[in-house]
Amino acid sequence: MTNYCTDQWLVVKYPGGSGGKFVTTCLFLFDKVAHWHGINSQQATVDYFKNSMLDTTEDWINKEINHKWNLNFFSRSHDRNNNLTEQEFNNLVDDNGSKYFKECWNSGLDIVDYWSKPTLPKFWKNAKSFSLVIDDNEIYKNLVMTKLFKIDYKRNVIISLLDDHRNIKRDKHKQHAELFNNQFEFPLTDIDDFFENVVKKKSWAIGWNTFAPNDDEFTIKISELVNHNAFIQKFQWFEDYYKQKIPVRYITELHNTWSAANEQQQEYFNSSR
């Protein structure tokens, strides 16, 4: 049986809603990294990301990019099957992995996945990984509140889009949301209080404010992520690692697209208040 518990994985660790999928898309620009949707052109990767952008907050859970690995037997955001042994993981990947995933794996390409908790599970102990780090709570609050939540002022509730199975269209996401039936409506309260007392206690957010990366772990701060020039500088680490220079215009176009979407989501969120 194939051993899937190796350093062929490249895991992006980040607090939910902080921009991990944007960084993931940037990694698809490298020849050695498997694209989630089999795209081989750098410009096509940029266009792919642009087409995933949102019109309103309600669209996020149904439109955001996601992999086609078919490895849905564990949760990257919640605590479902996070304690699998390496043998269990290997068996489940072998049984469930898509044809495309296995083609990428057998081709020796790095497999990008994501993890919204500070500590990787045992089955990924050999994986390459890096982290997005919260160094500015205000930036993170604005990102996460405008992306993962919406306010219904008619009913005076705040709705968690990640858990609201009524409006999820993707089958697997909807199935899991229905199965675990997490609370998705909360009494409307002060946004700062809600962020501190509800959001930061979510499984995909808890622990990140006290997260201390290892000395040798590569990290990107949230404040660097939202700053174009700072992110371009940090991205050079990946270029050095993969020994491939990516034309800066592609990174710029991706960053501009992501930044514009964040601004649009912020405007939408504020207009609903």
Supply the pTM of this predicted model: 0.91
pLDDT at 258: 94
How is residue 40 written in tokens?
A: 């081989």
Phi/psi of residue 115, each to 5°?
Answer: -150, 120
- Report the mean per-residue pLDDT for the chain: 89
CA atoms within 13 A on the CB side of 8: 15
State pLDDT tens for residues 163-195: 777 776 665 566 656 656 678 899 998 999 999
State pLDDT tens for residues 13-63: 999 999 999 999 999 999 999 999 999 999 999 999 998 886 655 566 666
Using CB atoms within 10 Å of the CB of residue 81, give its burial: 0 to 12 exposed, 13 to 18 middle, 19+ buried.
middle
- Residue 36 and residue 26: Cα distance in Å, rounded? 12
Q: Is 44 strand, coil or helix?
A: helix
pLDDT at 249: 98
Task: Find residue 128's DSSP bridge partners.
Answer: 10
